[in-house]
Structure 1
Amino acid sequence: MLVVILIGLPAALVPGRSSDGTQVIVLIAIFAALFTLVEYSASSPSLVEFRDAPPFNRVRFCALFATVLSLSIIFRGYVAPSTLTEFFQMSGAQIGRMIDFPYSPVRLMVSIMPPSATPQYVETMRDAAGFSYLLSLLSIIWFMILLRLQQWPPRGGSFNVWINLPTFDPTSGGDVVKRLRRDGWINIILGFLLPFLVPAMVKFSGYLGAPIRLDDPHTMIWTVTAWAFLPAGILMRGIALTRVARMIHQQRQKASKKAAADRLLPA
């Protein structure tokens, strides 16, 4: 139900979708809900990571939901203004001005707007990008605080690598700890760089003849959300992988010390 509500939020709050577009959104929402249901009810998931290791997926979903909801309220204010939409618009404008400095991710996102865009629509992109980027940073900070408070992954509990990392094969390649650390740092670096790389990729796609139309509010909502959420999610994944690697390393050390105390190690 939460997945269905998430996908339907922009269409419900921001008018302007045709009947055909609404039907497509409903189909996507149903498909996403069925996929989530199957992944969380199956004994072994195929794609969803950290299924049984909260709060990883909870924090990511809450960050995504907050971003989509906030941007939908901002854009609703242009067609149906209210006190709530005015508050979000003013907050987005203040945050956008603070983060919009040379070579910042927000400035790069503003630069992908077409030359024909009106100044008001350029400011709308800046406000939306600034608000969503701030939410992504806050979600990362909140995620790190929860990991510290809950000592995730739990040292005394069980962590099934096969269930929580279905796309990771521990039997292939070299040492598991080294591979997890390597993948974790790659994800952290990629999550840091993506907010700078995505605007360049969007602009380059326009030169190739496949531009992304940002004159539609719904397209802008999902584009800005993906730009802010995907790097944050990848960075969180990198942090989680490094902590799992540390947990496995600590368990190995504990088992080695126990074996040494029981004189089970080879001389």
Structure 2
Amino acid sequence: MILPSVNADTGQVVTLVALFAAALTFFEYASVYPGLVEFRDAPPFNRIRYGSLFVMVALLSVVVLARFEPSTFAQFVDVLGAAMARVIDIPYSPVRLLVLMLPADAPAAEVTLIRTAGGLAFMTALVTLACFVVMIRALGWPMGGQSFNVWVNLPMFDPTAGGDVVERLRRDAWFNIAMGVLLPFLVPAVIKAVSAGFAPVSLEAPQTLIWTVTAWAFLPTSLFMRGIAMGRVADMIAQKRRAAAKAEGGALQPV
């Protein structure tokens, strides 16, 4: 809807994917039993993730649109993204590594576009994480005055697999956080290493650029949020255990 040149075949494929995603989401949330979506009954986790993905794709599409139809709003978003990229684009930063992923003979316009898109997506990811942390503390997530079903909200986590549940949750939480920190650095380096033996990476196609940069910024953000959420669930279970042990100890005291 935003990009100026999209052929009919691409529009049909996008519509088909959108309908499939809508059906999957509907059946997941309409089902009583666990499915594939984590934290299904623990808002606003998935709402924040969806909002972040939507904002990233929309803003990057506007940045690409500014190259074809430089309207006032498109130019404003482009300038804003360029300013963010200048702040973040320091040696060994994720944005710098994203730019270095391109071949050495890449056109200057493509390098500038990648840097602007990377800066905008990275800042959106940071704002998403900040909003998530603020909201879970303000709402007391995951409880927030309502029940929390670990089985429904963590369908891929097996509490009977062995070991203490709290320790396993905390270990998985730290693993997800570590992956969320490392992925923005690892992905460009891996792509650069792989492309050394094959054709150089080219992001000239608008849709390829948008989805590549979005995935580069959104996947680490999603992993970081998942790690924070699992840590909160572990703290909730540990707190419930302490309360139960305290109540049981008080009941066993002689009168």
Q: Provide the TM-score with structure 2 as the length reference.
A: 0.95
Opposite residue 158 of structure 1, the aligned amino acid is: S
Partner of 1:206: 195
SS across alignment from 2:137:
helix
Matches within 5 A, 1:32-71: 32-71=21-60
CA deviations over 1:22-45 (Å, ceiling 9, x no partner): 222222111111111111111123
Native 8 Å contact 1:105 1:196 kept in 2 = yes
Partner of 1:27: 16
Q: Residue 205 and residue 46 in structure 1: after superposition, are their counterparts in 2 closer, same or farther (change >3 A)?
A: farther
CA deviations over 1:39-64 (Å, ceiling 9, x no partner): 11111232110010011111111111
Aligned counterparts of 1:222 and 1:210: Cα–Cα separation in 2: 19
Aligned counterparts of 1:50 and 1:120: Cα–Cα separation in 2: 41
Q: How many angstroms does 1:204 deviate by?
A: 2.5
CA deviations over 1:108-127 (Å, ceiling 9, x no partner): 00011123421011001000
Number of residue pairs aligned between Structure 1 and Structure 2: 253
Kindly indicate whether residue 169 of structure 2 is the aligned counterpart of residue 163 of structure 1: no
Kindly indicate whether residue 114 of structure 2 is the aligned counterpart of residue 95 of structure 1: no
SS across alignment from 1:262:
helix
Q: How many angstroms does 1:157 deviate by?
A: 2.7
Partner of 1:261: 250
Q: How many angstroms does 1:208 deviate by?
A: 4.6
CA deviations over 1:67-102 (Å, ceiling 9, x no partner): 111111111111111110010011011111111111
CA RMSD of aligned residues (A): 1.5
Q: Residue 210 and residue 262 in structure 1: after superposition, are their counterparts in 2 closer, same or farther (change >3 A)?
A: farther
CA deviations over 1:125-170 (Å, ceiling 9, x no partner): 0000001000100100110000111111126531100100011111
Opposite residue 224 of structure 1, the aligned amino acid is: V
Native 8 Å contact 2:102 2:202 kept in 1 = no
Partner of 1:185: 174
Match of residue 99, structure 2, among 105, 110, 135 = 110
Partner of 1:152: 141
Native 8 Å contact 1:202 1:211 kept in 2 = no
Kindly indicate whether residue 204 of structure 2 is the aligned counterpart of residue 234 of structure 1: no
Unaligned runs of 5+ in 2: none
Partner of 2:111: 122
Native 8 Å contact 2:101 2:201 kept in 1 = no
Native 8 Å contact 1:140 1:236 kept in 2 = yes
Opposite residue 70 of structure 1, the aligned amino acid is: L
Partner of 1:244: 233
Identity %: 49
Q: How many angstroms does 1:210 deviate by?
A: 6.6
CA deviations over 1:190-219 (Å, ceiling 9, x no partner): 101110011012223323537654110111
